[in-house]
Structures are given as structure tokens and as C-alpha cells.
């Protein structure tokens, strides 16, 4: 046995030195960890270090020393979320986070994904494998000859990109189960591959719902399926942007709050094209970030293999590049393949030019939903739009316990069963109405009309109320009248108590009582809310005007009313008659007289040379929307009120074998053939907007609006017609003047549905105007005869 060298330590001494170094490194790391997280004790800190850096790992002391040094230099390393850290801190943050300690796990410096294997260190921080591969050196593909492509493989002809790799015949192998040539995704024990359709992911029994499905998470309690994980296990916190209690997609870091799936749009960076700091999910050939707007604007176009138009390609199928329009149309309309007989999106063509599915030509493309098994309509992560919609509906209507509120079950069913899921998903993601709906569901209170009346009377509140009525959750009511009391309370918030004590009984005992009586006997729909609000506001302005002059109701005299009317800049002040009528009946004021509103003759007419070409445009111009053409033609021909025009239904249209009629009043009017065809198409065509199933049958409108179960508003119809060059007021005046010149007032009233007094005034005006025209014409003829003599 040879003696050991005097300079080399013995094995015992070396092991003792390693143990001492390990003990010192552990003590230093525990001390720094307790200093960074005071809620930890020594035993918990040691257990976390053992889980993050197991002792048998070679070089454990070095990792602990590196961790202690980093924590000493940056005490906030576990709470800042910075990825400029050693790898051991990534694993430690993961362990502490799973144990429920208040730490922020570092994410990728480029994409922000939270991962524990950020191996590549860059000056800006650690990056994940995908971002590292994305930013590596790129080359020119030897087959498609595109520059700046990431190399997926190298062949005899040179490097090829990922797109060419997916279509490379050398990568197709015979599937061990189905026998078709496809890309193998896994291999069996005998080495033979399985394609994506034949490979089945391992299934487990979910410990929550008991179903056997693919596991999203397996922990000490057992396996949890994807649906139960999203519903019950995935952590939910308040989103720092929308304020809703939702699943968090990006944890808070570097001053940015927690962001939910809907609010997080990717890491923000300075766009290399527009220089604006925006979410950048794309990069150019040099790896510089590009925002979504600039990416769409500067994409190079290719000739679509289906439609032949030059557009930016969305994907490449066996037939070639495909644009977004054709891509969406094919995937949303799967058809039975003529070769294999399976219902699939037909994305390829055979030798005869017939459309076939991808597997029939060896292209591994599976558009089957991994959750429900439907074909087509893919959305995200291998799931179809129907499954994504159901998940987001459950998240939207979740109560305090994380499940759908029982009262909102009819709404959840109606949303999930929407005929077109994509618009419904977009509505949930972007509409401001969903924020209010989610807030009401999260509070867990019973939804009633009284609860909604407490909210500010804006369009979001009105939309949610009608949505709940449409699905049968709330009882239907005359919303134009019943929402006025809630509006009044918000209107009186900054008014003196004396004014409020007068405005409330004036509205409830006088205005609303009369409005309800008229609504019960009215033959045609009419909006009363605008008139009611206007009369209440005039009464409040009149009370403020009295306060400025130190007048009380008992002091009012006729000269005060005359001063009020004289100082008016519009006819609005004449509406004080309703308030004074009520105060007189309550013996609060003496008998006072408010003059009638001065009647004005109709103005702003269209010349016949302008009216008939505009009518012809509505009847034959296919560039105009069908609803604009129909509404414009009806207005130019018959001049109905916009309120009555918006409330037309298919029942108002009487289609016969030879002629068609439209019911606007007591009697129907004959329609020109082109207008009859337009209205027939409107009555038969499906609604363009997604319609929710309603709890009780209701009318189907010719001109539907944005609010479920309601027609387009009068303001919306007027704006739409004016925007397309059809002035509503002048067009209606011209049509009524033309009808009044040819029809007696009773017939005009029966045909158009207007009041008989209004019809009489129109006929009187038209006859006087016609008489003046004939007199002027006779004078011109006399002057011409005198000139000839």
C-alpha cells in the first residue's frame, strides 16, 4: 500500500470538507431564504431546499452557494418575478408556490410563460426553449426558398423549414394501426409509429367528476380531468385589468398586475415598425418584435389556392397556400369525403380535381375536437368552438363558489347553444355588457328588476335586463315606462330635496299613471320614455328657475309663466304645462295658462327629381344592404314614422300569388314587385346576428336590433339610413306630401296609420301648396301668352 501524497488530502478529509461546505451552504441558503420570506421557519425552508436541490445531486453545495449569493445580492428575487437568476431559484420558486407561499415565479423574458426549465440565459433574462429556437440564426429554405426560416431538418438538397418538413414525403411512415402514410407522433414497443388519429393519450379516472378522461393534473389526491381542473383547481384571482375573478394567464411581475386569459395579449415590447409599446406576439426575420397591427399590415400576400386572390396566407394545405376567408369557410363546413366517406374538412384534391380530406392524400391534419369529438370549427388547443364557448360561459356566469349560479342556468344554456359559437365567444371576450353580467353573477345576489334599477341607467344595464328577460330569468314588463323611476332616482342625486319631493309624485302619480293607461289601449307600439324624461327635466329646470328668482309655487303668477316661455330658445319650455297641470290639480298653484306649442309647417322636402332616383337606387342597387334598401324604399313611398317602421314583422307582409301588400295602418297598401321581393327576402333570411333562444315566443322583426328580442332602435335606423344617403326626415315629408295631394284625409290616416287630425293637416297643407302651385303656373302661362302677343 503506497503512502498518500503529503499535498493531496485523504478521502476522509475530502469527504469531511465536502460535508462542511454543504452544511455551510445550506445554512447560508436557509438564512437568506428566511430573510427574504419572513413567514418561513427553518424547517420549512430546509424542506423547500431539499425539494428544489436534492442532496444526491452532484454539486448541490455549489447550487446552494449560488442561491445564497443571489438572494443576498437581490433580496426581492422571490417576489420580483425577474428571470435574471440561477436555475435553482426557478425550481425553488416553483416549490414555494405549490406550497402556497407568496412568491412570484419567474417567466420567460420574451413570451412571459411560467416554466421551471428556462435554460437559456440572455442579457434580458432567461428564455424558454421555444423563444430560444425562435431567435436563433435562420437560413434560406432549400425547397420553398424563403429567407430567414428556422431549420427543421436537413436533407440532401439543403436545410428545410418546418412548413416543408410537414409536407416532406420522407417524414411519412405507415401507421401501425390504420396503415395510412402519416406523421408518427409516438412509437410502440416494437418501434412502429402511430399517427395522431390512432394514438390515444393515457386516460385516468377523475377524482372530482368520476369520468375517465385524459388527465390535466395528477397530484397526491389523484388525477383531475381538464374540465374539472379549469372549473375547480386552476387558481382564480382578481384580474388587475378587468377586475373580474378569473383564471390568471400571466402572473404579476415587474409592476404589471395579474392578467386573466381575456386581458393578457402577450408580452409588451417596442414594435420594430411603429415603435409603439404594444403586445408583440410576432417577430421579423431578424428576431425583432412586431405588434399585431403592423404584422397584418406588412404581411406579404400569396395567391390563394381556393379563391385565386392574392392575400396573406393563413396556412398551407396540400392544395397550396390558403387565405383566412377560405380557411375559415372550409373548417366551419366539414363535408363527407368522396373517397373515404368520413366527414372532414376537405382541404386537398385528388388527381381528378375532386375535393378530398387531408388523410386521403397522406396529409396528417386532424380537425376533430379532443373534448367532444365534433369535426370542424377548431378554436384553441385542439378543442372546437362549441367546447370553448361552454367553458367561457361557465366562467362568465360563475358565482362565489365557482359554479354557474342556478338562477342563470337558462342563460348559460342559451349562450352555449348559440347557432354560431364564434360570435358568442367574441361577445363574451370584448363586450362591456359581459363585465357587468360577470360582476352580478360573482356577487351571488338574486337578480331582480329592483336590483338592476339600483345600477346606473346606461346601455349596459338595459342590455343585461333585456337579456335576462329574453331568456326567462326575469319577467317581461313595459320597459319604456317601468325604467323611468330608477332613472329619476339617479337624476335626483344632485338635486335639492325640495325639488325631489315634487318630482317624485309628479312622475308616479301623474305622468306614469297616464302613460300606463295609454300603453294599455294603444294599437301601435310607441316609445314613451323619451317624452317622460323630457317632461321631468323641464319640471326640474323650472323649479331651478324659480329658485333663482326666490319664487315659491304659491307665488307663481301668469306673468312668471310668460317670462319663462319668452326666455325660451326652443319649444322645450312649453312642456311645463304638464307640471303646472299637476300642481294645479293638487292645489299647489293657482290656475295658470301655458300657450300651445306654435305649429310649424313641414319643411325640408325632396324634389321629385331627387326622390324618384333615390327610390330607384333603393330598389335596384345591390351594393346597399338589404335592410337599408327595404327601409329606405318604404320611407320614400309611404312615409311611416321611424318607430312604426322599426316594429314591422313578417306578419305585416301579406304575400299573394300576384300581388303583395304591407300593413301600416287599418288597411294594407299595395307594394311594387321589387319592394315586395326585398321584404320577402328579409322575412325568410336567417338573422345575421347570433340569436339566443328565448323562453317565451315573441315576434320576429324584419329589422332586428342588437338587443336580444328587440327591433333596431329608431335612432339606429335613422343613423343607418342617413349614413347611406337617405335623409329620413326629408324623405318622409316628401312621401306624405305626395300621398296627401292624392288621397282624402280619412284614407290617408287608414293607410299610413297616422292620427286623423295629423292626416287632415297634411291634406290641408298639400292642397294649399297645390293651389299655390297652380296659381303660379297660371300666372306663368299668362305671361307667356302676353309675350307672344
Mapped onto helix, strand or coil, the DSSP state of residue 279 is strand
Contact indicator for 390, 409 with CB cutoff of 8 Å: no
d(CA 292, CA 460): 29
- Is the pLDDT at 154 greater than 60? The verdict is yes
Reported as a pLDDT band with limits 50, 70 and 90, residue 503 is very high
**Of the ranges 95-104, 600-609, 686-695, 752-761, which one carries the lowest mean pLDDT score?**
686-695
Highest mean pLDDT among 576-590, 674-688, 769-783: 576-590
Mean pLDDT of the chain: 82
Q: Across residues 690-709, what is the average pLDDT?
A: 70
Alpha helices, DSSP H only, in 215-341? 226-228, 292-297, 324-331
Residues 647-668, mean pLDDT to the nearest whole number: 85
**First-residue to last-residue Cα distance in the chain:** 154
**pLDDT range class, residue 299, cuts 50, 70, 90:** confident
Out of 113-122, 261-270, 501-510, the most confident range is 501-510
Calpha distance 707→68 (Å, rounded): 61
Report yes or no: 638 and 652 within 8 Å, Cβ to Cβ.
no
Report residue 771 as a C-alpha cell.
Answer: 293651389
For 49-53, 213-217, 227-231, 253-257, which range has the lowest pLDDT when averaged over its residues?
A: 253-257
At residue 522, the pLDDT reads 66
pLDDT band at 2 (very low <50, low <70, confident <90, very high): very low
pLDDT tens column, 330-364 = 888 888 888 888 888 888 888 888 888 888 888 87
pLDDT at 179 over 90: no
pLDDT at 572: 83
- Tens of pLDDT, residues 455-490: 888 888 888 888 888 888 888 888 778 888 888 888
Percentage of residues in the chain with pLDDT exceeding 90? 5
> Which CATH code, of 3.30.70.1450, 1.10.443.10, 3.40.50.150, 1.10.3720.10, is assigned to 608-770?
1.10.443.10
- What's the pTM? 0.56
Confidence of residue 502 (pLDDT cuts 50, 70, 90): very high
245: phi then psi, degrees, rounded to nearest 5: -85, 100
Q: Which residues pair with 193 in a beta bridge?
A: 187
Instruction: Taking residues 1-17, report their average pLDDT.
Output: 56
Average pLDDT estimate for 101-127: 83
Element (H, E) at 283: strand 282-283
DSSP H or E segment with residue 734: helix 728-742
Which residues neighbour 680 within 8 Å (Cβ) at sequence distance 6 or greater? 653, 655, 660
Higher per-residue pLDDT: 524 or 301:
301
Residue 4, pLDDT score:
41
C-alpha cell at 576: 311645463
User: Quick one: which of 126, 51, 52 has its CA closest to 85?
Assistant: 126
What pLDDT, on a 0 to 100 scale, did the predictor assign at position 5?
41
Looking at residue 3, its pLDDT comes to: 43
Q: How far is CA 434 from CA 426, 467, 687, 717, in A?
A: 11, 11, 22, 25
Cell 314588463 found at: 477
What is the structure's pLDDT at 693? 56
More confident residue, 689 or 388: 388
Q: Where are the domains of the chain?
A: 18-134, 302-367, 385-477, 486-585, 608-770
pLDDT at 153: 83
Q: Is the pLDDT of residue 8 over 50?
A: no
Angstrom distance (rounded) from CA 731 to CA 637: 9
- Written as nine digits, the cell of 32 is 437568506
Q: What is the pLDDT of residue 6?
A: 43
Place of cell 405549490: 98
Residue 753 Cα to chain centre, angstroms: 39
49 neighbors 93 (Cβ within 8 angstroms):
no
How many Å apart are CA 185 and CA 724, to the nearest integer?
55
**Cα–Cα dist 762/580, whole Å:** 31
pLDDT reported for residue 7: 39
Are 334 and 316 within 8 A, CB to CB? no
Whether the CB-CB separation of 291 and 278 falls below 8 Å is answered with yes
Separation CA 294–CA 268 (nearest Å) = 14
Q: Any residues with CB less than 8 A from the CB of 613 and at least 6 apart, and which?
A: none
Q: How confident is the model at residue 401 (pLDDT cuts 50, 70, 90)?
A: confident
Residue 445 has pLDDT above 60, yes or no: yes
With cell 342625486, the residue in question is 493
Give the separation between CA 589 and CA 580, rounded to whole angstroms: 7
Burial class (CB in 10 A: 0-12, 13-18, 19+), 25: buried
Report the pLDDT value the prediction gives residue 772, as an integer from 0 to 100.
53
| 662 three-state secondary structure | strand
CA distances from 389 to 386, 436, 437 (A): 5, 19, 16
Q: Which three cell numbers stand for residue 358?
A: 387531408
Residue 184 · residue 195 · CB < 8 Å: yes
- Residues 56, 63: Cα–Cα separation, whole Å: 12
- Check if the beta carbon of residue 403 is closer than 8 Å to that of residue 232: no
User: What size, in residues, is the chain?
Assistant: 789
Looking at the predicted structure, is the pLDDT value of residue 540 above 90?
yes
Q: Which of 65-69, 187-191, 499-503, 570-574 has the lowest mean pLDDT?
A: 187-191
Show contacts of 267-275: CB within 8 Å, 24+ apart: 267/110, 267/111, 267/112, 273/298
E runs forming strands in 158-211: 158-160, 173-174, 181-182, 186-187, 193-194, 203-205
Of the ranges 7-21, 366-380, 482-496, 607-621, which one carries the lowest mean pLDDT score? 7-21
pLDDT tens digits for 571-611? 888 888 899 999 999 889 888 888 887 777 777 788 888 88
User: Residue 142 has which C-alpha cell?
Assistant: 432549400
- The confidence band for 404, taking pLDDT boundaries of 50, 70 and 90, is confident
Please state, in angstroms and as integers, the Cα–Cα distance from residue 219 to each residue in 99, 206, 229, 625, following that order. Answer: 13, 11, 12, 57
Amino acid at each position: 500500500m503506497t503512502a498518500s501524497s503529503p499535498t493531496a488530502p485523504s478521502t476522509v478529509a475530502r469527504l469531511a470538507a465536502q460535508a462542511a461546505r454543504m452544511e455551510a451552504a445550506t445554512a447560508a441558503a436557509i438564512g437568506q431564504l428566511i430573510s427574504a420570506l419572513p413567514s418561513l421557519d427553518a424547517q420549512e425552508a430546509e424542506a423547500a431546499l431539499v425539494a428544489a436541490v436534492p442532496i444526491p445531486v452532484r454539486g448541490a453545495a455549489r447550487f446552494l452557494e449560488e442561491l445564497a449569493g443571489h438572494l443576498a445580492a437581490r433580496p426581492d428575487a422571490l417576489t420580483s418575478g425577474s428571470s435574471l437568476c440561477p436555475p435553482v431559484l426557478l425550481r425553488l420558486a416553483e416549490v414555494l408556490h405549490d406550497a402556497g407561499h407568496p412568491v412570484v415565479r419567474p417567466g420567460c423574458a420574451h413570451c412571459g410563460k411560467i416554466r421551471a426549465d428556462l435554460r437559456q440565459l440572455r442579457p434580458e433574462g432567461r428564455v424558454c426553449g421555444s423563444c430560444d429556437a425562435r431567435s436563433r440564426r435562420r437560413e434560406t429554405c432549400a425547397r420553398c426558398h424563403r429567407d430567414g426560416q428556422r431549420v427543421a431538418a436537413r436533407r440532401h438538397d439543403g436545410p428545410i423549414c418546418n412548413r416543408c418538413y410537414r409536407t416532406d414525403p420522407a417524414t411519412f411512415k405507415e401507421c401501425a394501426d390504420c396503415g395510412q402514410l402519416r406523421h408518427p407522433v409516438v412509437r410502440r414497443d416494437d418501434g412502429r409509429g402511430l399517427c395522431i388519429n390512432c394514438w390515444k393519450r393515457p386516460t385516468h379516472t377523475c377524482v372530482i367528476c368520476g369520468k375517465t378522461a385524459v388527465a390535466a393534473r395528477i397530484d397526491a389526491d389523484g388525477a383531475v380531468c381538464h374540465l374539472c381542473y379549469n372549473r375547480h383547481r386552476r387558481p382564480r384571482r382578481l384580474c388587475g385589468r378587468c377586475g373580474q375573478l378569473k383564471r390568471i394567464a400571466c402572473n404579476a411581475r415587474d409592476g404589471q398586475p395579474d392578467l386573466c386569459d381575456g386581458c393578457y395579449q402577450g408580452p409588451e415590447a417596442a414594435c420594430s415598425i411603429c415603435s409603439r409599446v404594444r403586445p408583440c406576439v410576432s417577430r421579423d426575420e431578424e428576431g425583432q418584435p412586431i405588434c399585431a397591427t403592423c404584422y397584418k399590415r406588412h404581411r406579404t400576400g400569396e395567391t390563394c389556392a381556393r379563391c385565386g386572390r392574392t392575400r396573406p396566407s393563413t396556412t398551407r394545405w396540400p392544395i397550396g397556400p390558403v387565405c383566412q376567408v377560405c380557411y375559415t369557410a372550409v373548417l366551419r363546413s366539414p363535408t363527407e369525403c368522396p373517397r373515404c366517406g368520413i366527414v372532414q374538412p376537405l382541404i386537398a384534391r385528388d388527381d381528378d380535381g375532386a375535393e378530398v380530406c387531408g388523410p386521403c392524400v397522406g396529409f396528417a391534419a386532424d380537425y376533430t375536437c379532443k373534448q367532444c369529438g365534433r369535426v370542424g370549427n377548431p378554436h384553441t388547443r385542439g378543442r372546437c368552438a362549441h367546447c370553448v364557448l361552454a367553458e367561457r360561459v361557465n366562467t362568465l356566469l360563475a358565482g362565489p363558489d365557482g359554479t354557474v349560479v342556478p338562477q342563470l342556468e337558462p342563460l348559460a344554456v342559451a349562450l352555449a347553444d348559440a347557432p354560431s359559437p364564434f360570435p358568442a365567444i367574441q361577445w363574451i371576450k370584448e363586450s362591456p355588457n359581459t363585465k357587468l353580467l360577470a360582476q352580478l353573477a360573482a356577487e351571488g345576489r338574486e337578480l331582480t328588476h329592483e336590483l338592476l334599477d339600483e345600477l346606473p341607467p346606461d346601455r349596459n344595464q338595459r342590455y343585461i335586463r333585456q337579456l335576462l328577460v329574453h331568456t326567462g330569468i326575469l319577467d317581461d314588463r313595459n320597459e319604456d315606462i317601468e325604467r323611468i323611476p330608477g332613472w329619476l332616482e339617479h337624476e335626483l342625486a344632485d338635486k335639492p330635496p325640495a325639488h325631489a319631493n315634487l318630482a317624485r309624485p309628479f312622475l308616479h302619480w301623474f305622468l306614469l299613471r297616464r302613460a300606463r293607461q295609454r300603453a294599455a289601449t294603444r294599437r301601435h307600439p310607441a316609445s314613451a320614455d323619451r317624452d317622460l324624461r323630457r317632461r321631468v327635466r323641464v319640471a326640474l329646470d323650472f323649479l331651478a328657475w324659480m329658485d333663482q328668482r326666490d319664487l315659491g309655487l304659491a307665488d307663481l303668477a301668469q306673468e312668471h309663466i310668460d317670462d319663462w316661455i319668452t326666455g325660451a330658445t326652443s319649444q322645450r319650455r312649453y312642456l311645463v304645462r304638464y307640471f303646472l297641470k299637476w300642481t294645479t290639480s293638487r292645489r299647489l298653484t293657482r290656475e295658470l295658462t301655458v300657450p300651445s306649442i306654435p305649429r310649424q309647417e313641414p319643411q325640408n322636402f325632396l324634389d321629385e327629381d331627387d326622390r324618384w332616383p333615390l327610390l330607384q337606387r333603393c330598389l335596384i342597387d345591390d351594393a346597399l344592404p338589404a335592410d337599408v334598401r327595404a327601409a329606405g324604399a318604404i320611407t320614400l313611398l309611404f312615409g311611416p314614422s321611424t318607430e312604426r317602421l322599426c316594429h314591422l314583422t313578417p306578419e305585416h307582409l301579406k304575400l299573394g300569388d300576384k300581388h303583395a301588400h304591407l300593413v301600416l295602418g287599418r288597411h294594407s297598401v299595395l307594394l311594387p314587385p321589387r319592394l315586395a321581393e326585398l321584404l320577402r327576402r328579409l322575412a325568410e333570411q336567417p338573422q345575421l346576428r347570433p340569436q339566443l333562444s328565448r323562453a317565451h315566443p315573441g315576434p320576429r322583426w324584419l329589422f332586428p336590433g342588437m338587443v336580444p328580442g328587440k327591433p333596431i332602435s329608431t335612432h339606429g335606423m335613422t343613423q343607418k339610413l342617413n349614413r347611406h344617403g337617405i335623409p329620413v326626415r326629408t324623405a318622409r315629408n316628401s312621401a306624405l306630401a305626395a300621398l296627401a295631394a292624392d288621397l282624402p284625409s280619412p284614407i290617408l290616416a287608414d293607410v299610413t296609420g297616422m292620427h286623423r287630425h295629423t292626416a287632415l293637416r297634411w291634406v290641408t297643407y298639400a292642397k294649399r301648396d297645390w293651389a299655390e302651385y297652380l296659381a303660379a303656373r297660371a300666372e306663368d302661362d299668362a305671361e307667356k301668352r302676353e309675350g307672344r302677343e
